[in-house]
Structure 1
């Protein structure tokens, strides 16, 4: 008769148990696929949970085979219990990840008008992280409680739980504040994944929301990591809070000879040539006329912030081209008034000279002429070698 309690019997028991686990895994897969034909989610479930499920079946089958062949081995039972808890936590985590991923897949954020989808994506991402944290903590605690020494210490730890919780709360005050802020952000709808925000003076999109920090993808491909408390305690701009449509302006300083009517007609032609304008609003107004210039402001709308930026640049380029070719008189000029000659004329003396005393050689033009005759050189005439 075959001895199942020998090493050979142990090997045979383990082999049979593993074969049975493999058969159970195959049957489970066939049942899931047959029950959900023409659907995509069974493939995702199989991909997520295949390895932990098979490993879980293998651990259970091997443990049962060892207990059948060689019962009473406490250290083996302890080791397999720890392995069962760890693999079971892995399997539960895979199921949770599949379920949350299935929900996130139904809400796409790469489509227009995705405000609800972005909110759901953010909340599900936070829930997934919370679930993973709870699973890991529970599994680690369960493994520790399998050791007799930890069980003995557990009573005293629970007795002083109030003091320990106070000390831990004070020590991890900033961390806990970020955790609570992360949960608040996820469920208060203040920010969502793919929201366009202005934080710390930088324009970017919310790329990731975690329990303790938020990653902002800045427009030049930098990443700014901010604590979750930043978005609960610091004012910031959210450009897609209730919708992604935005209104933007283009301001140009021009000469006084510009024609707003002609510019308004050209703006209509420019917008008719592009498909990035959403057609909601287009306004051209003269908002200022001081300092020698006329300020023209153009208001246009677009479906989102990146499209609005491209539209503003396009309008600015087209207007510059039109001003250079069609209305050069509207190009700004700096005017300078020459007043130097007028100042000299005002400061020059008049032809009439008024003096208190008029003498023989001073005081009048005739006196000055007589003085010049007397002070000029006298010619000397030589005759016959003599000077007269």
Structure 2
């Protein structure tokens, strides 16, 4: 009797269908890899971000649902779980086990992490279960799947029940239609709102600046137009994209974009601040010392060079902050620092010239052998210092050509600076005249020329005429005059021309070659026979 009962039981068990996982979804395709915890989470995120929610449902334990509802509910749960993980629990796949047995510290579960909900922590886990073919596979366990709707209600999109299903069914580049629409609204609306906020802020600060007696703050408020817009846009972009539940890689891109815009805005404003401050200081000094041209030129030179130094430092620091947010560049920098032996020596030797040039520019701004507007003679050319940078100096030559000279040359080689200590200089005009020239009349003529025709060029300080040298046939006369360095050449030409005209009207004072014939008397010791002897007394 017992044997017959046992045989009947075995027959009944054999006639029952084998237990299967998620039978309402059908057999999973071969591309669904659920052999390890890492493969399960990776496969779920890949299919969910691609919009294949029907395939992503195979990575969930849906056996608690009726078989006829597993297909529709599974796709919906997969989509919702994707949003929750992207927003609240970014997954680091490297921390998950890549072994079929899972984490040896855990019994049957491999926990991804926890998400706070209503004052409690909801664990997100994958569990090893038996598949329809008797194989052991990893899926998101039943307790985690049951909490998906609650998690989505707290952290999911707010417009799920408002927008049509079209906005949630398909994805393009990993984003659903509602997310693309949201990005468009955030970009356009954020830019428009940032413009409005910039105008309101500048208008308010401009009214505050008008209460002060200084003009520097008014110019500084104007300098904020443009740089102030970017931080507002970066803030709105960061807040707006965080509400769109973007995948972690996309959200990282926008986070770095917001950070980059902030750094660019800060560097942009610093450059504007340096320009406004430099112009304000120059204007104040020029208004208080209108007659002290040397001090004004010296200050302009110092401000120009120091401004260039600070601008270069701003560019370098901003570039470093922008690059350090990228892991690849940061690792390259660490590797270069770690292996900075011969490479550092080579780079140091290659940059030696650039560093010396930079230091030369700083030294020139302190010692000031040249200043903006100085009259110099360099490389045999006379010109005016027009621009001083960190690496070169531009000299405007008298014929409006530009001579570009390395800045180190002004520290290594001699040159003439005609306006180093004072702006006025002495110039001479050399004339060759006859011995009969009246020097006093020539002095009077020089005075007349300077006081009348040359009054716009002459500074009224020096006017002398002296006999410089006595030659065998002429006198060398020097007329000495004074004028600002920029006008001295023109004054010398005017004096030379007018004195030549003056001498031309007096031919006797011009250099003359003379010849004179005189009778010659021959003296002898004895009289000639024709003359006879002298009478005796």
Compared CA separation, residues 15 and 235, structure 1 to 2 (3 A): closer
Deviation at 1:74, TM superposition (A): 2.0
Q: Determine the structure 2 residue equivalent to 1:307.
A: 487
Structure 2 Cα separation of the partners of residues 245 and 46 of structure 1: 41
Structure 1 Cα separation of the partners of residues 227 and 409 of structure 2: 38
Alignment of 1:144-293 (within 5 A): 144-161=323-340, 163-273=342-452, 274-275=454-455, 276-293=457-474
Structure 1 unaligned runs (5+)?
A: 346-350, 353-388
Give the TM-score taking structure 1 as reference length: 0.78
Is the 1:169–1:176 Cα contact (8 Å) retained in structure 2?
A: no
Residues 145-180 of structure 1: per-residue CA shift (max 9 Å, x gap): 111122223333233446544322211333322222
How many residues align structurally?
A: 342
Compared CA separation, residues 165 and 191, structure 1 to 2 (3 A): farther
Compared CA separation, residues 92 and 4, structure 1 to 2 (3 A): farther
Deviation at 1:181, TM superposition (A): 1.4
Instruction: With a CA cutoff of 8 Å and minimum separation of 6, indicate the structure with the bigger relative contact order.
Output: 1
Alignment of 1:366-385 (within 5 A): none
Q: Are 2:475 and 1:294 aligned?
A: yes
Structure 2 Cα separation of the partners of residues 244 and 257 of structure 1: 38
Q: Secondary structure at the match of 2:243?
A: helix
Q: Determine the structure 1 residue equivalent to 2:223.
A: 48
Is the 2:237–2:254 Cα contact (8 Å) retained in structure 1?
A: no
Compared CA separation, residues 61 and 265, structure 1 to 2 (3 A): same
Larger radius of gyration: 2
Structure 2 unaligned runs (5+)?
A: 1-152, 161-177, 523-527, 530-537
Is the 2:377–2:383 Cα contact (8 Å) retained in structure 1?
A: yes
Deviation at 1:293, TM superposition (A): 1.0
Higher helix fraction: Structure 1 or Structure 2? 1
Is the 1:13–1:69 Cα contact (8 Å) retained in structure 2?
A: no
Deviation at 1:106, TM superposition (A): 3.4
Q: Are 2:261 and 1:83 aligned?
A: yes
Q: Determine the structure 2 residue equivalent to 1:29.
A: 202
Q: Determine the structure 2 residue equivalent to 1:62.
A: 237
66-75 vs 184-193, which deviates more?
Answer: 66-75
Compared CA separation, residues 153 and 117, structure 1 to 2 (3 A): same
Is the 1:191–1:241 Cα contact (8 Å) retained in structure 2?
A: yes
Q: Secondary structure at the match of 1:258?
A: coil
Q: Secondary structure at the match of 1:126?
A: helix
Deviation at 1:13, TM superposition (A): 5.2
Deviation at 1:118, TM superposition (A): 0.9
Give the TM-score taking structure 2 as reference length: 0.58
Structure 2 Cα separation of the partners of residues 211 and 203 of structure 1: 22
Is the 1:32–1:42 Cα contact (8 Å) retained in structure 2?
A: no
